[in-house]
């Protein structure tokens, strides 16, 4: 870590290009005041975590209610698996899965009077456009708008929020933080050219996407080196193989290991965590926030 990079200090004092984020529904998210929770719904049949609800709308709606009751601030719905070595999902299949679940979840949230945003986890405009029409508010792209040149302009036209992830898969490594920063800056340039403002962007360094166990641990230790981006940061460690490798646990038994990664990430300045187990993780989040954001 260079001398110019701030060390974590509590209470956390981070800079942001914009003080808040309007995800499209509900109140604006005031960055730095607390950690926000993204709850996961995998509308797939081959989710790495074994919780896919492809074409099972009742299960998807029940899971959405569970996530909201557990403290989720946004629900992330994807129709294609992003696990390593997964078979590519045809766009038509991904679109059908994601849009049907988004429609059903939005209908249920409206029925319950719950005004929280939905994000669609996709890399293609062909899925994002009907998803936004169906009730999504944010596009979460694991390739940072670097796969489909039509996606960033689509987000700009809809005024949607954007979660941009750096994905190291298939790319050579140099220095971990340099790789992440370079990738995110390319995505930010794509957004700027398309008219997606920085006030609508959340950045994700891509834990587990092209990084091995030791690199993922290094990423966790070096998260404060991403502060100079002056952007809100999201991380997704929930149930991932690195947690299993360190704790020697199966996918269904990684609750405490995941909580440890979330606590460490918050201490390092992370603003949003993407999780499967909202109620349990919210306990860890609230306790950690009370320690590292007491002035908030």
Active-site positions? 240, 274
Backbone angles phi, psi at 105, to 5 degrees: -70, -40
Contact 144, 80 (CB under 8 A): no
Cβ distance 194 to 155 under 8 Å?
yes
Structure tokens belonging to residue 232: 């809100």
Contacts of 31 (CB under 8 A, 6+ apart): 14, 16, 18, 19, 20, 21, 232, 271
**In angstroms, rounded to a whole number, what is the distance separating the alpha carbons of residues 75 and 73?**
7
d(CA 183, CA 60): 33
User: CB within 8 A of 282, min separation 6: which ones?
Assistant: 37, 70, 71
* Residue labelled with tokens 């704790």: 247
SS3 239: coil
| DSSP assignment string, 106-142 | HHHHHHHT----EEEE-S-HHHHHHHHHHT--EEEET
The distance from CA 176 to its chain's CA centroid, rounded to whole angstroms, is 19
SS3 151: helix
């Amino acid at each position: 870590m260079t001398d110019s990079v701030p060390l974590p200090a509590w209470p956390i004092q981070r800079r942001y290009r914009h003080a808040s984020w309007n995800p499209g529904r509900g109140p604006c998210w005031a960055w730095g005041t607390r950690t926000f929770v993204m709850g996961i719904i995998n509308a797939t049949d081959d989710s790495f975590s074994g919780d896919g609800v492809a074409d099972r709308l009742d299960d998807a709606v029940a899971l959405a209610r569970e996530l909201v009751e557990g403290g989720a601030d946004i629900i992330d719905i994807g129709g294609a698996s992003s696990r390593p070595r997964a078979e590519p999902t045809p766009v038509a299949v991904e679109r059908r899965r994601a849009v049907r679940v988004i429609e059903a979840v939005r209908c249920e949230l409206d029925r319950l009077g719950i005004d929280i945003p939905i994000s669609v986890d996709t890399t293609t405009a062909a899925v994002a456009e009907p998803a936004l029409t169906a009730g999504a508010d944010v596009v979460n792209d694991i390739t940072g708008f670097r796969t489909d040149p039509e996606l960033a302009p689509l987000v700009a036209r809809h005024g949607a929020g954007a979660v941009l992830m750096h994905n190291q898969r298939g790319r050579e490594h140099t220095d971990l933080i340099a790789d992440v920063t370079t990738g995110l800056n390319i995505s930010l340039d794509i957004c700027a050219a398309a008219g997606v403002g920085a006030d609508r962007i959340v950045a994700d360094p891509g834990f587990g996407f092209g990084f091995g166990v030791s690199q993922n641990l290094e990423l966790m230790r070096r998260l404060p080196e991403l502060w100079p981006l002056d952007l809100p940061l999201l991380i997704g460690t929930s149930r991932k193989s690195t947690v299993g490798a360190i704790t020697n646990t199966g996918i269904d038994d990684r609750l405490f290991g995941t909580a440890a990664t979330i606590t460490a990430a918050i201490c390092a300045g992370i603003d949003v965590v993407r999780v499967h187990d909202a109620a349990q993780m919210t306990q860890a989040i609230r306790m950690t926030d009370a320690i590292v954001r007491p002035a908030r």
